[in-house]
A and B are shown apart, each in its own frame.
Chain A
Amino acid sequence: MLKKSRLLAALLMLCLVFPLVAQGQVESAPAKEIELRWASIWVGNDSKAPAVEALVAEYNAKNAGKIKVVIEPQPDYNAYEQKVRTSLAAGQAPADIFTIKFNPTTATFYQSNLLMDFAKVMDASWKQTFDAGSLEQSTVDGMLKSLPMETAILPIWYNMDAFKKTGITELPTTLDGMFAAFDKLKAAGITPTSQMTGDTNAWTSMIWFSHFAVSLGGTNVWEKSFTDPAFVEAAKLTKRMITEYSTSDAVGLGAGGSGGHFLAGRTAVFSNGPWYAGRADLAATPFFNSIKIAGLPAAGSTKDFMISRLQANICAASSKDKAREAAIVDFLKFLTSAPSISKIAETSGAMFAIKTDYRPTKALQKQFYDVAVAAKTTAFDLEAALGAEVTLEFAQQLGALALGRISAEEFCALVDRKIER
Chain B
Amino acid sequence: MQAVGTHRSRVWTARVLFLLPVSVLFFFFFIYPFLFTIYTSFTSWRGIGSMKFNGLANYTKLLGDPTFRKALGNNVVWALSQGFIQVPLACLIAMILVRKPRFWRSLRTIYYLPNVISTVALAMVWVAIYNVEGPLNAILGALFGAEKRNWLGNPDTALFAVIFQTVIYIGYFMIILLASAMNIPRSLYEAAEIDGASTFQQELSITLPMLRGSLITTMTLAMAYGMRHFESTFLMTGGGPAYATTTMGIDLYLKMDALRYSEASTAGVFLIIMGTVVITVLRKIFGSSDPMSEMAQ
A residues in contact (CB < 8 Å) with B = 2, 5-6, 9-10, 12-13, 16, 85, 88-89, 105-106, 108-109, 111-112, 197-200, 247-254, 387-389, 392, 395-397, 399-400, 403, 405-406
A197 CB contacts on chain B under 8 angstroms: 153, 240-241
Stretch at the interface among B9-17, B198-206, B209-217: B9-17
Contact A396 B260 (CB under 8 A): no
Contact A198 B238 (CB under 8 A): yes
Contact B257 A405 (CB under 8 A): no
Q: Report the minimum CB–CB distance from B24 to chain A (whole Å).
A: 9
Q: Report the minimum CB–CB distance from B77 to chain A (whole Å).
A: 18
Q: In the assembly, what is the distance between CA of A389 and CA of B261, in Å?
A: 13
Contact A111 B241 (CB under 8 A): no
Contact A249 B132 (CB under 8 A): yes
B148 CB contacts on chain A under 8 angstroms: 248
Contact B259 A252 (CB under 8 A): no
Q: Using an 8 Å CB-CB cutoff, how does the interface string of B256-269 with A read, 1 for contact, 0 for none? A: 11111100000000
CB nearest to B49 among chain A residues: A111
List 16 interface pairs A-B (beta carbons < 8 Å), by A numbering: A9-B18, A12-B17, A85-B259, A109-B48, A111-B48, A112-B49, A198-B241, A249-B131, A249-B153, A251-B150, A252-B150, A388-B257, A389-B258, A392-B258, A396-B240, A396-B241
* Interface status of B133 (Cβ within 8 A of chain A): yes
Contact B153 A399 (CB under 8 A): yes
B88 CB contacts on chain A under 8 angstroms: none
From known contacts A252-B237, A399-B242, infer whether A85 and B150 are also in contact, taking CB-CB under 8 Å. no
Given A6-B10, A85-B256, A253-B153, 16 extra CB contacts under 8 A: A2-B14, A5-B14, A9-B14, A10-B17, A108-B259, A112-B49, A197-B153, A198-B238, A198-B240, A251-B153, A392-B258, A395-B240, A399-B155, A399-B241, A403-B155, A406-B242
Q: In the assembly, what is the distance between CA of A193 and CA of B213, in Å?
A: 56
CB nearest to A252 among chain B residues: B153
CB nearest to A115 among chain B residues: B48
Q: Using an 8 Å CB-CB cutoff, how does the interface string of B38-58 with A read, 1 for contact, 0 for none? A: 000000001111000000000
Q: In the assembly, what is the distance between CA of A403 and CA of B241, in Å?
A: 10
- Within the complex, which residue of B18, B237, B239 is in contact with A12, where a contact is CB–CB below 8 Å? B18
Count of chain B residues near A, Cβ 8 A: 37
A252 CB contacts on chain B under 8 angstroms: 150, 152-153, 158, 237, 240-241
- Within the complex, which residue of A10, A12, A89 is in contact with B48, where a contact is CB–CB below 8 Å? A89
B49 CB contacts on chain A under 8 angstroms: 111-112
Q: Report the minimum CB–CB distance from B138 to chain A (whole Å).
A: 14
- Within the complex, which residue of A9, A109, A200 is in contact with B254, where a contact is CB–CB below 8 Å? A200
Closest 9 CB pairs of A and B: A399-B241, A252-B153, A400-B242, A251-B153, A89-B47, A389-B258, A9-B17, A111-B49, A249-B132
* Interface status of B7 (Cβ within 8 A of chain A): yes
Contact A12 B21 (CB under 8 A): yes
Q: In the assembly, what is the distance between CA of A200 and CA of B250, in Å?
A: 11
From known contacts A111-B48, A249-B150, A399-B240, infer whether A388 and B258 are also in contact, taking CB-CB under 8 Å. yes
Q: In the assembly, what is the distance between CA of A206 and CA of B120, in Å?
A: 26
* Interface status of B35 (Cβ within 8 A of chain A): no
Q: In the assembly, what is the distance between CA of A403 and CA of B156, in Å?
A: 11
From known contacts A6-B17, A396-B243, infer whether A85 and B47 are also in contact, taking CB-CB under 8 Å. yes
B21 CB contacts on chain A under 8 angstroms: 12-13, 16
Q: In the assembly, what is the distance between CA of A248 and CA of B259, in Å?
A: 34
A396 CB contacts on chain B under 8 angstroms: 239-243
CB nearest to A400 among chain B residues: B242
Q: In the assembly, what is the distance between CA of A109 and CA of B259, in Å?
A: 10
Q: In the assembly, what is the distance between CA of A30 and CA of B100, in Å?
A: 68
B153 CB contacts on chain A under 8 angstroms: 197, 249-253, 399
Q: Report the minimum CB–CB distance from A51 to chain B (whole Å).
A: 30
From known contacts A2-B11, A112-B49, infer whether A89 and B240 are also in contact, taking CB-CB under 8 Å. no
Query: Residue among B154, B242, B259 with the most chain A CB within 10 A?
Result: B242
* Interface status of B20 (Cβ within 8 A of chain A): yes
- Within the complex, which residue of B10, B243, B258 is in contact with A105, where a contact is CB–CB below 8 Å? B258
Q: In the assembly, what is the distance between CA of A399 and CA of B261, in Å?
A: 27
Contact A387 B258 (CB under 8 A): yes
From known contacts A198-B237, A389-B260, A400-B242, infer whether A251 and B14 are also in contact, taking CB-CB under 8 Å. no
Contact B48 A251 (CB under 8 A): no
B133 CB contacts on chain A under 8 angstroms: 248-249
Q: Report the minimum CB–CB distance from B80 to chain A (whole Å).
A: 24
Contact B150 A6 (CB under 8 A): no
B239 CB contacts on chain A under 8 angstroms: 396
CB nearest to A112 among chain B residues: B48
Q: In the assembly, what is the distance between CA of A1 and CA of B237, in Å?
A: 59
Q: In the assembly, what is the distance between CA of A333 and CA of B121, in Å?
A: 43
CB nearest to B67 among chain A residues: A396
Chain B residues 119 to 151 lying within 8 A of chain A, measured CB to CB, are 131-133, 148, 150
Contact B257 A392 (CB under 8 A): yes
Contact A200 B150 (CB under 8 A): no
Q: In the assembly, what is the distance between CA of A389 and CA of B264, in Å?
A: 13
Q: Report the minimum CB–CB distance from B25 to chain A (whole Å).
A: 9
Q: Report the minimum CB–CB distance from A329 to chain B (whole Å).
A: 23
Q: In the assembly, what is the distance between CA of A252 and CA of B244, in Å?
A: 11
Q: Report the minimum CB–CB distance from B158 to chain A (whole Å).
A: 7
A16 CB contacts on chain B under 8 angstroms: 21
- Within the complex, which residue of B20, B48, B152, B240 is in contact with A108, where a contact is CB–CB below 8 Å? B48
CB nearest to A9 among chain B residues: B17
Chain B residues 73 to 124 lying within 8 A of chain A, measured CB to CB, are none
Q: In the assembly, what is the distance between CA of A166 and CA of B10, in Å?
A: 90
- Within the complex, which residue of B11, B18, B158, B242 is in contact with A397, where a contact is CB–CB below 8 Å? B242
Q: Report the minimum CB–CB distance from B182 to chain A (whole Å).
A: 38
CB nearest to A196 among chain B residues: B153
Q: In the assembly, what is the distance between CA of A6 and CA of B18, in Å?
A: 9
From known contacts A6-B10, A9-B17, A400-B242, infer whether A108 and B47 are also in contact, taking CB-CB under 8 Å. yes
Q: In the assembly, what is the distance between CA of A388 and CA of B260, in Å?
A: 11
Q: In the assembly, what is the distance between CA of A109 and CA of B49, in Å?
A: 9
B11 CB contacts on chain A under 8 angstroms: 2
Q: In the assembly, what is the distance between CA of A22 and CA of B150, in Å?
A: 56
